[in-house]
């Protein structure tokens, strides 16, 4: 599946009667890399969950490659190109690495698993280990590889670096950049490590209490350290 443009227009969503996102709009071109930034509790995870159809949508549209997804179930959105790596990773800890990867094949032949091992060679060494025996970094690699085996055109990543050692962060980000370049997958990254997010993405949006308060190119954001300090609370080098 080729990379596709993601277009979100006027998205208002939340849980039950609580609205978290208000009138959020942005566009990610095919093969683009978008960082979703903001302090904790500002709606970033809710945004990704809403794109996958896991929240209550009050209004707004979600299009991937021009196809409207907002009225589809999560499983149908996945079939139309959305891949999701949640913050909780959601691997099956009682299954082996290879069995976890088989879950992500979605009808593809088992030989496709070699693609995952090519992206994350360390997983091949651990192929017979249970999910419960993996480190945090290995679990994140497994969750990401499983999502990629579904051949998404747009990949949503929710804080993939959380709890990882610096070297594991380096390895994972290098793999994601290679994936974006070689397979031209459109990516949306929620990440608290601001410097890594800025290095990874080519554009960014900032959420503040569920509202989109800034949108633009990474180069433009780097020229606005006061904006980063105000809405994210950190300085950049």
Q: What is the pLDDT of residue 183?
A: 75
Q: How far is CA 150 from the centre of its chain?
A: 14
Of the candidate ranges 17-31, 87-101, 199-213, the one whose mean pLDDT is the lowest: 87-101
Beta strand pairing call for 6-15 and 18-28: antiparallel
What are the angstrom distances between the C-alpha of 154 and each of 94, 122, 186? 28, 24, 5
User: Residue 40: CB partners within 8 Å, gap ≥ 6?
Assistant: 192
Comparing 141 with 211, which gets the higher pLDDT?
Answer: 211
Pair 150, 182: CB distance under 8 Å? no
Binning pLDDT at 50, 70 and 90, where does residue 152 land? very high
- Give the DSSP letter string of 94-155: TSBHHHHHHHT-TT--GGGHHHHHHH-HHHHHTTTSBGGGS-HHHHHHHHHHHHHHT--SEE
Q: 14-28, 64-78, 85-99: lowest mean pLDDT where?
A: 85-99
- Domains of the chain in sequence order: 6-231 (3.40.50.300)
Beta bridge partners of 33: 187
Q: How far apart are CA 120 and CA 106, in angstroms?
A: 19
For residue 96, what are the β-bridge partners?
130
Which band of pLDDT confidence, cut at 50, 70 and 90, is reported for residue 235?
Answer: low
């Amino acid at each position: 599946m080729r990379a596709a443009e993601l277009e979100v227009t006027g998205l208002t969503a939340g849980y039950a009667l609580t609205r978290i996102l208000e009138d959020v709009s942005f566009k990610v071109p095919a093969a683009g890399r978008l960082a979703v930034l903001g302090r904790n509790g500002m709606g970033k995870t809710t945004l990704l969950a809403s794109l996958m159809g896991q929240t209550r949508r009050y209004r707004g549209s979600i299009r991937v490659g021009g196809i409207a997804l907002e009225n589809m179930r999560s499983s149908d959105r996945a079939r139309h190109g959305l891949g999701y790596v949640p913050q909780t990773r959601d691997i099956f800890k009682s299954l082996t690495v290879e069995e976890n990867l088989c879950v992500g094949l979605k009808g593809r032949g088992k030989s496709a698993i070699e693609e995952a091992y090519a992206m994350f060679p360390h997983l091949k060494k651990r192929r017979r280990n249970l999910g419960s025996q993996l480190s945090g970094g290995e679990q994140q690699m497994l969750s990401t590889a499983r999502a990629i085996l579904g051949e998404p055109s747009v990949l949503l990543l929710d804080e993939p670096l959380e709890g990882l050692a610096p070297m594991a962060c380096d390895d994972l980000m290098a793999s994601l950049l290679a994936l974006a370049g070689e397979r031209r997958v459109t990516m949306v990254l929620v990440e608290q490590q601001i410097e890594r997010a800025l290095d990874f993405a080519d554009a960014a949006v900032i959420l503040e209490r569920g509202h989109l308060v800034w949108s633009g190119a990474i180069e433009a954001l780097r020229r606005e350290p006061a904006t980063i300090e105000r809405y994210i609370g950190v300085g950049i080098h």
